[in-house]
Amino acid sequence: MIEYIKYTINGQTYSLVNNGDGTWSKELEAPGVAGLYDLKLEIKQGGSITYIDSTDSRYNFFLEVIQDAERSADLIQHLPDFLQDVLEFQVLFNAENIEIDRLNSSIQKGLLDVFIRTASIERITRLETFLRYKGEGTLEQRRSYLLALMQKGKKLNEPMIKEVAKTITGSDCIVSFFGSDELNNPEPGQGVLLVQVLSPDSSKDYRYADIARALKPLAPAHIKLLVIKYFSTWEDIKNNFHDWNAVAAMKDWQAVKDYIAPQ
């Protein structure tokens, strides 16, 4: 059962209304500047959240704003009042107003494209092409992966690995290294770099695979990289709390769920 559907356009997120007949809808005014707008859907169903945008094969439509919108440029106001009623001036300046609005829109887009966090899909695609790899996932996931790649200039150590995991998932991680013959090595006989990702930020659109994808080129060839999800078990709760009263003292059940036993 679908719990909710949200969509994001032009940096604003809206919730659709369940019509009760299997359809969802919402009436909103289109953006004020003409152009081609990418829409992003967020669908929560069965406790899991799916993100779909124009990069997904299941969904490929845009909102194209082509109607006359309220203009921000108004050149005719700079003329004397007795000339503003001249038809020729009105036609000329109306045409120029449209071009100035388009120019301003392009300038704003260019400014946003300077930063990966706000870059358009076209800019992100150009960066991926320059770096010679194929973008995977939603636009937000692709942005996070590019940001994670920015950490590659740093030395492969615990702080750098933590920063990559946080950039992609929004959460912390536990980094452990095991020698080939070390006790508790998950892959005996081989050196292992284990990255245990803690409870991710549920509001962040992420791909776990991108963590290993960003770190693998930096890991030595003789070291096996393992990136896994890490959650505490009821056994961890039992071993680290005296009784249920101690557990009840925690903030709420979410805090219990996010609890990580001391390492």
Coil, strand or helix at 228: strand
* Average pLDDT rounded to a whole number, residues 54-72: 53
Domain 116-230, CATH number (from 1.10.1060, 3.10.530, 1.10.20, 3.30.300): 3.30.300
pLDDT at 112 over 80: yes
What lies within 8 Å, CB to CB, of 172 at 6+ separation is: 162, 165, 166, 198
Listed range (155-159, 167-171, 189-193, 202-206) with the worst mean pLDDT: 202-206
What's the pLDDT at 97?
86
> Burial level of 255, CB count in 10 A (0-12/13-18/19+)?
exposed
Q: Do the beta carbons of residue 143 and residue 116 sit within 8 Å?
A: yes
Mean pLDDT of the chain: 80
* Average pLDDT rounded to a whole number, residues 80-106: 86
* Average pLDDT rounded to a whole number, residues 216-230: 86
Pick left, alpha or beta for residue 211 (phi over 0 → left; psi -120 to 50 → alpha; otherwise beta): alpha
Band the pLDDT of 236: cuts 50, 70, 90.
confident
Q: Do the beta carbons of residue 52 and residue 138 sit within 8 Å?
A: yes
Q: In what order do the strands lie in the sheet with 48-52?
A: 12-15, 2-9, 40-45, 48-52
Check residue 116 and report its DSSP letter. Answer: G
pLDDT at 238 over 80: no
What's the pLDDT at 67?
43
* Average pLDDT rounded to a whole number, residues 76-98: 88
pLDDT at 211 over 80: yes
Q: Is the pTM of this model over 0.85?
A: no
